[in-house]
Structure 1
């Protein structure tokens, strides 16, 4: 049995090479997403997805989801989750619709006419 310093050096280099491959593979999965491996051509499109999310404060966030080509605005967190608006027709880019809905939601309500004097 050969037990020289060259053998231990070779084993250490091979171990370093294998660990390097593992680290590079982990970095690639984190960088490009593991889901990219599952999205192969010819597979069915997903029916549900998050279009955009925005944190309002540490506990609440607005989330725009798309389901079957229709978008819904949800307020998540706090004491309960609310469905604020929907169905909203999807426009393709989603950003314009989200901004429009946010502007309409943030707009002050129309004044209620008071009693006639």
Structure 2
């Protein structure tokens, strides 16, 4: 079995061409049929709907806390009937995030007390 350099280069080029075709096909598929959050109208907008928390009730059902805008709704899902337990719950304000990096507190000399006159005319 002889090793031919031109055949090896041609094989590598063909392999790169096939990989490029696959990448292009995936990109075109996502562009046409849309992937997750590819809607141009939604770009830059904050998401309005979120599942805040879930907890299992039994083997089939789950208790879900769902937030839409600033209102939360408590749902039981997964059984024969989905049920709204409570609606119109005010969402808690977001917790403050810790600072990014170190916080430096500069020390300064104490300020002198202001001089207030005792005599008022």
TM-score tier by shorter-chain length is 0.3 to 0.5
Normalised by the length of structure 1, the TM-score is 0.48
Q: Which has the higher contact order (CA 8 A, sep 6+)?
A: 1
- Structure with higher helix content: 1
Structure number with greater Rg is 2
